[in-house]
Every structure is written in structure tokens, then in C-alpha cells.
Structure 1
């Protein structure tokens, strides 16, 4: 399967308002805390939450057993991109590339986060299109679900 043909998805229902969820996307401390999947730590290197605004995040593996798993270095991934769309309380669209010399991770991936009202809460769904072929689908979807659970914990505390 070549780059651009795969779409990975995940969703969750959160007992928080759309406003609370959306604000977790545009607050740098919040974003840095919930986005990294399990077994990773995030560090924002740049973050301008506005349409066209850039972001850059270093995701470091906490477990040395993952050595040689990183895209950028043996123990880390650096993702950079920009916000294509920020529709308050409803939609966040990001264009993301990974800093890597490995062509399997090349290309721009689009992450579309929908924030929709649900009875007494909010449904957050993410769809990743143009996923680089070097990212395993099962691992990626597991990571997306982990990030969504982190978002849920962040918003509900």
C-alpha cells in the first residue's frame, strides 16, 4: 500500500463540553500533556494555535525497549506541521510531517479532529489520511485511542 491510500480512525465520548475539549487543543500545556500516547513524553518546540500557525513536537519513548523505534532518532519522533483549520468548539485540522531520513515516513499526513455534541458530553473523533506507510496501522490506531483516552482524562479532571 503506498502513501495516501490508508486512513486511520478513532473516536471517544467525553463527559465534557465542546468548549472544554476544544480548549485542550489550543492550550499548549494541555496539548503537550494529553497528545503523547502511552509510554511517550511530549515536548512542544513550537506552537501557534491559529489557522496557518506552525507546531513542532518531540515525542520521546519512555521505555528503552523501544530503542530504534523512533522516526527521527532512535528514541524519539519529531512531528511538525501547521493548523489548516481551527473552527472553535467543532473542528481542528492539522497537516503533519515527521522529521526522518527514512522515506517510509515521508509525506504530509492530515489529522482531522471533529468535536461534536453528544447527550451530556462530546464525541471526539480523529481521522488521519495520507498516513505514511512506515507507520503500522494497528500501532497508529492504538496510539490514537490512547491520546483520546488521555484527552478524556484531561477534560474530565
Structure 2
């Protein structure tokens, strides 16, 4: 990304920034709660724009909640989360680790998902993550 790690790190922990970037195309994001500290809780909903789409939580919405497990300033954010769903195949706990490394005048960002439920197609998770990272890259250039 064409921004220093400090700027990218801020965008990972700012609820308004998260609402702007952590959403795939064809969805909108609402951040309900966001305590950016180790042990702090967050809750986020992603709602499909298409009226006939089915969400993992209710209606057209995928809501997830979790906590911040590790925060290393300008280097790493580790989150433990799960979808809010009555379906245990969807509501399994996941870990998302975002690592930032200075590269030239910018930042290499690596986002690793662990424990993604089998009910969430890997291709869909990959595509959504790439879209979100593209939004993050565009956002941090403007910050």
C-alpha cells in the first residue's frame, strides 16, 4: 500500500475507517461497537445491497463480533471473531491476523484468516478480503 505502516495501522483500528474499507463490493458496513485495545470488543454488520441476498446472521446481513487479541503498534493486529448465527457450521470462532511491514515508502499488508468455517466458501472469503484490502489501500492514500 502506498502509505506508511503507521497510517495503515490507524485505519485498522479506527471504527469510521473500518466502516469504509472492511466491506466487499455489493455490501454496506455498520460498526456497532469498537474498542481498539487488547481485550476490547467489536461488533460489525455487513449487509448485502441485493434485496434477494441471504446473510449468515439474519435477512441480508452478516454480523460478526469478537475481541482484539494482540495489538503491536504499526506492525500487527490479531482479532478473534465469529459470525452471529444459529448455525454452528457458520458460527465457529476464527482468528484474523493482519501484519504490516514497511516496504520502500509504503506498506506490505498480509491478512491471514484461520479457522474460517467450512460453510463459508474459501473463494468467497478470498474475494471479499481482496475487495476490502483494495478499499483499505485507497483509503490510506487519502488519510
TM-score for the superposition, normalised by structure 1: 0.88
Are 1:78 and 2:73 an aligned pair?
no
Asked which structure has the greater RCO (Cα within 8 Å, sep 6+), the reply is 1
Post-superposition offset of 1:53? 0.2
Match of 1:97 among 58, 66, 82: 82
Q: For 1:110 and 1:120, locate their aligned partners in 2 and report how far apart those are by CA, in whole Å.
A: 29
1:59 is aligned to 46
Gaps of 5+ in 2: none
Are 1:130 and 2:115 an aligned pair?
yes
Range 99-108 or range 17-26, more displaced? 99-108
1:37 is aligned to 24
Range 101-110 or range 40-49, more displaced? 101-110
Matches within 5 A, 1:145-156: 145-156=130-141
Q: Secondary structure at the match of 1:37?
A: coil
Q: For 2:120 and 2:24, locate their aligned partners in 1 and report how far apart those are by CA, in whole Å.
A: 14
Are 1:144 and 2:129 an aligned pair?
yes
Q: For 1:74 and 1:65, locate their aligned partners in 2 and report how far apart those are by CA, in whole Å.
A: 9
Q: Secondary structure at the match of 2:134?
A: helix
Q: For 2:52 and 2:106, locate their aligned partners in 1 and report how far apart those are by CA, in whole Å.
A: 38
Gaps of 5+ in 1: 1-13
Supply the RMSD in Å over aligned alpha carbons: 0.8
Post-superposition offset of 1:25? 1.0
Moved over 4 A (4+): none
